[in-house]
Amino acid sequence: MSEAVAEGTAPRPHRRLPIPPVVPMIVALIALWYVAAVPMNIKEALTQVERDGAVVSPESAVERRDMSNWALVARNPQHIAGSWATARPRLPAPHVVVEELYDSTIGEEVNGRRGLVRSGSLSNRSLVYHGLVTLNATFVGFLIGAVLGVALAIGIVHSRVMDMSVMPWAIVSQTIPIVALAPMIIVVLYSIGVQGLIPKAVISAYLSFFPVVVGMVKGLRAPDGMQLDLMRTYNADARTVLQKLRLPSSVPYLFASLKIAIAASLVGAIVGELPVQRGGLGARMLAGSYYGQTAQIWAALLTAAALAAVLVGLLGWLERKTLARMGMQT
Amino acid sequence: MQSAAAQSAPAPQSAPAVVSARNLFLTFQTADGPVNALSDVTLDISKGDFVSFIGPSGCGKTTLLRCIAALETPTGGKLTVNGMDPDAARKARAYGYVFQAAGLYPWRTIGGNIRLPLEIMGFSKSEQEERVARVLDLVELTGFEKKFPWQLSGGMQQRASIARALAFDADILLMDEPFGALDEIVRDRLNEELLGLWDRTGKTIAFVTHSIPEAVYLSTHIVVMSPRPGRITDVIESPLPRQRPLDIRDSPEFIEVAHRVREGLRAGYEE
């Protein structure tokens, strides 16, 4: 803190998104995607154009089966474009995914028989509907996880017994692959009559409480010895120290953890939807893989990614607002 | 204040001892074996004194201050603050403590920071306001109540932290190198202001420093300490008057006292 800022409000630098470097990066990634789609889909593409009467090299399907994909691309450069338009691509080209994305959101709701326009409710074939199903479970799971995480962190910071007993179990809990655990959680909860949103939220919370615990323990312990000594000179009790010093100090840590936690919550909700198949982005992904609809999987994946980006962005916005209100610079 | 040595008390020091230490020892157990932070420290601080503790790092000056504040517990000897056990004095809020760093909470305004001890000690809202205004005036920060710490310079932040220590009317002010991190010009000004504040409020101040001019300029008594083990080697009573303009530092008396402090510090090294 220099002497120069003594007079009141020093201007804060404006934060601008570095748009120029981002655009070429995205273009490069999309180009890479198109390139990768060629060898991935070339066999299928050749079979398809051959069926339509075109000449491909080599002509024998059996021979083609034993050749490498790149060799086939090299021998059939005129059919490269065909590999971006196969009916059942291994790797759908970006525009195919975008088309699927449009069809299963706006297209379905506006034109579909069960869409919002004709039936008055969201179509169960649209990603909007499935996205909302997932979002519901994500929110409930995130709330449970965040509250549980903060509560555990407060306990850990204040009690040596909890520090030694809870933390190892919290770490162990995260070493178990969630895909293995999720079906068990669903089965156990189902057997006691709980199904629907709650099992998914529980899986969500299971993933999201951990970053909150770790971040909050760090945050609540952030005040240094001098600040704690100062509280001691005021003869402040532990509750006052928590309320006036530890909790405010932990706010930046809390938001960092919450950003990780909400992304983990989304993953948890999706994993929880895999075995149940009662809607949600997870159900869509698995259905897509059952029927070889890779474009559908990718569309659901992109929706999930976009949801995660929006949720994390929302928390980032909330973080900036909160820290600005607290007078802390970010 | 009197050292244990035969310095008989002159007239103005008949005031009762606010801090009294008798044969204080403090040994820290470290991985490298025991460290004698304080060894046989005997000292009285009378009401209204301005006492500086000066000495090289590791001489125990900060440790002694922390013992008075009940942030450390001596392993031997007897220490009283306001006639009480130091911990009881801490609970009775006998002192305000100023640390080397201002340590203001970044999420509280200057006013909010000064209000912190008042909130904790349960002062009423109106009394909080009144006290905040009063101590802000005392440290010449009126008008900065609504500013956040990052909007103030280092010197102003330290003034705010002094205001915070003054807010709840403790009679004793314990200051641990409060101006150590500031540049010389700011430090001079704050020294002058601190003397004025001491004169107006009649507080008893214990002040840790490692600057000889600062110690001589501020103090009625200078306690010279030396390390390994941390102990008092000399207690110098200043002949300077209570009113001290900055240029008193060029007077022969000042130079004489500074010389004696330097001698004391050197003696501590050579032993």
- Looking up residue A177, the CATH number of its domain turns out to be 1.10.3720.10
Please list, in sequence order, all residues whose beta carbon lies within 8 angstroms of the beta carbon of residue A190, skipping any fewer than 6 positions away.
Answer: A199
Which residue has 């609540």 as its token pair?
A: A220
- pLDDT attached to residue A301: 93
Query: Do A146 and A205 fall within a single domain?
Result: yes
- pLDDT attached to residue A15: 64
Average pLDDT over residues A117-127: 82
Q: Which of A64, A91, A118 is the last residue of a domain?
A: A91
Query: Do A151 and A290 fall within a single domain?
Result: yes
- pLDDT attached to residue A12: 58
- pLDDT attached to residue B13: 44
Q: Which residue of A has its CA nearest to B143?
A: A8
- Does ipTM surpass 0.90 in this model? no
pLDDT tens per residue across all 271 residues of chain B? 444 444 443 444 445 788 888 888 888 888 888 888 888 888 889 888 999 999 888 888 889 999 999 898 888 888 888 888 888 888 888 898 999 888 899 999 999 999 999 999 989 999 999 999 988 988 888 889 999 999 998 888 988 998 898 888 888 999 998 888 788 888 888 888 888 888 888 889 999 998 888 998 999 999 999 888 888 888 888 888 888 888 888 888 889 889 988 888 887 766 5
Partner A contacted by B99 (CB < 8 A): yes
- pLDDT attached to residue A137: 93
Instruction: With CB atoms and an 8 Å threshold, state whether A234 touches B117.
Output: yes
> CA A62 to CA A51: how far, in whole Å?
15
In terms of DSSP H, where are the helices of A86-196? Answer: 94-102, 108-111, 116-119, 127-158, 160-175, 178-191
- pLDDT attached to residue B60: 86
What's at B64, amino acid-wise? L
Contacting B with CB below 8 Å, chain A residues are 1-6, 8-10, 226-227, 229-236, 240, 244-245, 248, 251, 326-329
Instruction: With CB atoms and an 8 Å threshold, state whether A5 touches B71.
Output: no
Average pLDDT over residues A49-53: 86
How far CA A220 is from CA of A146, A217, A246, B79, in Å, comes to 15, 5, 5, 34
Q: Is the four-CA dihedral A57, A58, A62, A65 of positive or negative sign?
A: negative
Q: Exposed, middle or buried: residue B33 (CB in 10 Å: 0-12, 13-18, 19+)? A: exposed
Instruction: With CB atoms and an 8 Å threshold, state whether B152 touches A1.
Output: yes
Query: Do A306 and A184 fall within a single domain?
Result: yes
Query: Do A150 and A206 fall within a single domain?
Result: yes
Written as six digits, the tokens of A153 are 């962190």
Q: Which residue of A has its CA nearest to B144?
A: A8
- pLDDT attached to residue A3: 41
Please list, in sequence order, all residues whose beta carbon lies within 8 angstroms of the beta carbon of residue B202, skipping any fewer than 6 positions away.
Answer: B48
- pLDDT attached to residue A14: 62
CB A234 within 8 A of CB A302: no
Residue A4: is its pLDDT beyond 50? no
User: pLDDT grade, residue A8 (50/70/90)?
Assistant: very low
Partner A contacted by B156 (CB < 8 A): yes
Residues facing B235 on adjacent strands: B223
* Chain B interface disruption, residue of A226, A232, A235, A250, most B CBs within 10 A: A235
Query: Do A77 and A163 fall within a single domain?
Result: no
What's at A225, amino acid-wise? G
Give the minimum alpha-carbon distance from B106 to chain A in angstroms, rounded to a whole number.
6
Residue A156: is its pLDDT beyond 90? yes
Has residue A26 been placed in a domain?
A: no
Q: Exposed, middle or buried: residue A295 (CB in 10 Å: 0-12, 13-18, 19+)? A: buried
Of B108, B150, B186, the CB nearest to A1: B150
Query: Do A205 and A260 fall within a single domain?
Result: yes
Among left, alpha and beta (phi > 0; psi -120 to 50; other), residue A198 is: alpha
CB B261 within 8 A of CB B224: yes
Written as six digits, the tokens of B24 are 């204080």
Domain interval for residue A74: 38-91
Q: Domain extents for chain B?
A: 11-94+170-270
Has residue A101 been placed in a domain?
A: no
Give the minimum alpha-carbon distance from A11 to chain B in angstroms, rounded to a whole number.
10
Query: Do A182 and A309 fall within a single domain?
Result: yes
> CA A197 to CA A208: how far, in whole Å?
16
- Cα dihedral B237, B239, B245, B247, rounded to 10, equals -100
Has residue A293 been placed in a domain?
A: yes
Residue A10: is its pLDDT beyond 60? no
Written as one string, the DSSP assignment of A44-102 is HHHHHHHHTT---SS--HHHHHHS-HHHHHHH-GGGTGGGGS-SS-SS--HHHHHHHHH
Query: Do A214 and A268 fall within a single domain?
Result: yes
- pLDDT attached to residue A2: 40
User: pLDDT grade, residue A258 (50/70/90)?
Assistant: very high
Residue A81: is its pLDDT beyond 70? yes
Residue A59: is its pLDDT beyond 90? no
Query: Do A58 and A183 fall within a single domain?
Result: no
Domain count of chain A?
2
Please list, in sequence order, all residues whose beta carbon lies within 8 angstroms of the beta carbon of residue A86, skipping any fewer than 6 positions away.
Answer: A41, A44, A45, A48
Query: Do A176 and A49 fall within a single domain?
Result: no
Judging contacts by C-beta atoms under 8 Å, the chain A residues touching residue B153 are 1-6
Has residue A180 been placed in a domain?
A: yes
Query: Do A84 and A132 fall within a single domain?
Result: no
Q: Exposed, middle or buried: residue B53 (CB in 10 Å: 0-12, 13-18, 19+)? A: buried
Q: What are the tens digits of pLDDT across the range B41-85?
A: 888 898 889 999 998 888 888 899 999 998 988 888 888 888 888
Of A4, A234, A248, the CB nearest to B120: A234
Judging contacts by C-beta atoms under 8 Å, the chain A residues touching residue B186 are 3
Of B99, B106, B109, the CB nearest to A328: B106
Is 3.40.50.720 the CATH classification of the domain at B11-94+170-270? no
Q: What are the tens digits of pLDDT across the range B108-119?
A: 999 999 999 999
- pLDDT attached to residue B271: 58
- pLDDT attached to residue B9: 39
CB A199 within 8 A of CB A189: yes
Please list, in sequence order, all residues whose beta carbon lies within 8 angstroms of the beta carbon of residue A3, skipping any fewer than 6 positions away.
Answer: B153, B154, B155, B186
- pLDDT attached to residue A17: 62
- pLDDT attached to residue B101: 87
Written as one string, the DSSP assignment of A207-265 is HHHHHHHHHHHHHHT-S-HHHHHHHHHTT--HHHHIIIIIHHHHHHHHHHHHHHHHHHH
Query: Do A132 and A268 fall within a single domain?
Result: yes
Q: Which residue of B has its CA nearest to A10?
A: B151
User: pLDDT grade, residue A261 (50/70/90)?
Assistant: very high
